[in-house]
Amino acid sequence: MKKSVFPVGTFAVVMLAILGLGLARLRPLIPNERAIRGVSAADFISQGTSQSIPWEENLADALARGRRMDRPVLLYMGTVWNRSGRKFDETVLRDPDVQNYIDRHFVPVRIDLDESPHLLSAYAPLSRVENGGVSTIQMAFVMPNGVLYRLFFPRASNAEAMGFLAELVASFGQFNSIRETPSELPVAQQNERDLLYQGSVQLSGYDRYYALLKDSLDQARGGLIGGSPTSRAVAWRSFLLLGDFQDFTTASKRSLSSGLVDWLDGGFFGVAVDSTYSKIEFDKPSELNAEIMLTLAMASSIKPEPNIDLIGKATFDWLYKITTEAGHVPTARIGQENGFDRDPRSSFYAKDFRQFWNTGKVTPTQAKFATETLGLDTQTNRSMVIQVSDWSAIESDKFNPTLTALRKSKSGVKPKMTTLPMASVNGATIAAMISSARLWNDSERLEKAVQLFSDLEDFRSQSEISRKPHFAPGTERFLGDYLAYCDAAMSKYQATGDPTALDAGLQVLRRARSLFRTALRGVWSPSISSRTQPLAATDSPDVLDCQGESSIGKLIRVLTRYGHFYEEFRRDAQDAAEHFSGILPETRQLGAGIFNAVAELNDDTYVLTVGPDRVKLSNALAPKVAARFVAPASPNSFRELKPGVYLVAGNQPVGPLSEKEAQLRISPRLSTP
């Protein structure tokens, strides 16, 4: 009698099912295909290659796939130098359940914001302020037609797998609800655009904005209320431009006397994640450091303060060091936090001090000074970074020897930098370095900064600017890159009188005006892509100062400055100011770049120097009227003027004046309507 094969078949089916379930559980642990192949990618994209998530790298492709599969798109935008993003990648997105759910329900796309910065503001630029999501890490849940329906902001505080899994489930449920009832799709994106493009707005909105900015000062403890405790250098600058030095001190003093200052290497860490500034995230964005440096240079010109000078110049030296080592300005130093959320280069431990004593690198006296005066006490300083909360410590005879010993003790730990240089970061940083050295009247640093300008030529071909050096293929054109080059070219011209720099900036600005023009006068699109732009209906200008000055703020300021020499740019600057001034109260401190630019536009009296000594005169006057535009006359403007100093308002020069007369007759501050 023939045996039945039923038990054998059943056994085989059961084993295959078990094997299938096992493979399903193991699949998230299998490295991403790109990681296996070792494919080169942008820093933030490479950061996700250890996850078994089928990340797309192009938004248009992801939306097309979403339409084919009838799935929402999970758009994850970030930078490798954002600590919250790194923590989210290391913990939440490596969780098997999270990876499985994403794989089964979404089309995930990963965008490096260093390479595609315009996407940071493409979805809900103003709502991000209300939600506290203003840093360079965010997730957008997008319908397959490209319309946003939900936002999520990864934070170190919400980097927990079960909580994010619940967010994913809720997001997919919302997608199904919208698909069944399209009328439920939120109209927030259209509301955002309506708010941004208000048309002509009375500039009285600026008065309300400045009042709100002053109201945000924490008069008791210092700093600005609202948002993460970080360095809002562009907002600090608002007070300097309008002559409110005491308010500048109140706004900046907490950051300047906290662990945000990197006393070991120079410069500033990006953010503190608690109100006591005891927990530091160790990323050091170059553009943020450049903005702080320029603000401190302006402050020390208006009211000399040795400690502000010391911190500002140390920031310059840090930026110069990393630039000369890398050949270009790196986008950021990347923090390398360990399990204790400390950085091996910037943090100190009790075991470090014991080792220092044994090796003689740090004496017991220096260790005591570091603990008691420089804040290296684990009870009050979780990050164990040097803190100079009492500036009188700088005058101590123990300060410099202790700092030198601490630096030597960390000399074997090298900082980690981003790999791909970006045009906007290089342009903004070099412009700030030139301007800062000029305000310090520091000829040695000015010469170094001017030399760095040649590095920008790697991003330029005639009047075109590439995001990456040498016109790397596939990069989109970004308005911020063009403006940063123009800003640096004008800064070089102001400091040196070099007409070739002014002419190069002029040609690039003219090209940018034609390349990025939109239907509205004075409002320029942030990006141009050779591919079909999937965000054509939702693309929004960059109005927020996340790390430095926003594109629209820079647009107004750069147009104003070139407009002093070339009338053709003035109207665009005025139109852009009218379109965006009304939104300022909604932007809090992050809209300060637009505020500062329009203040300069509306109080446009500037200083022009003429004659053989025009560069020398210009550089001598610049630190004395730091809030004003000061420049030597160009070869093509005001040729009929006699040598000397002129005040120009409404394109009408008054002079010649002596240096002292000019200083007395021009207000050192800007005024607003």
C-alpha of 506 from chain center: 25
In 10 A of CB 600, how many CB atoms? 20
Residues in the chain: 673
The percent of the chain in helix, strand and coil, each rounded to the nearest 5, is 55, 10, 35
Put residue 462 in one of left, alpha, beta given phi > 0 → left and psi -120 to 50 → alpha. left
Whole-number Cα distances in Å, 628 to 240, 281, 658: 11, 35, 17
pLDDT, position 13: 43
What's the pLDDT score for residue 131? 66
Ramachandran area for residue 235 (φ above 0: left; ψ -120 to 50: alpha; else beta):
alpha
Matching residue, tokens 């995930």? 108
pLDDT digits over 626-641, tens only?
999 999 998 877 878 9
Tens digit of pLDDT for each residue in 157-197? Answer: 888 999 999 999 999 999 999 888 776 666 666 667 676 66
Cα torsion 395, 401, 405, 407: sign: positive
What local confidence, expressed as pLDDT, does residue 303 receive? 93
| Residues 492, 520: Cα–Cα separation, whole Å | 31
Tokens of 658: 């002596």
Q: What is the mean pLDDT of the chain?
A: 85
> Which residues pair with residue 464 across a beta bridge?
461
Give the model's pLDDT for residue 185.
65
Burial of 273 (0-12, 13-18, 19+ CB in 10 A): buried
Report pLDDT for 110: 95
> Quick one: CA dihedral 234, 236, 237, 242, positive or negative?
positive
Q: Which of 544, 605, 425, 421 lies closest to 121 in space, CA to CA?
A: 544
Give every residue of the chain whose pLDDT is below 50, as ranges.
Answer: 1-6, 8-9, 11-40, 200-202, 536, 673
Contact 88, 159 (CB under 8 A): yes
CA distance 565 to 493: 12
Report how far residue 25's alpha carbon sits from residue 450's, in angstroms, rounded to the nearest whole number: 57
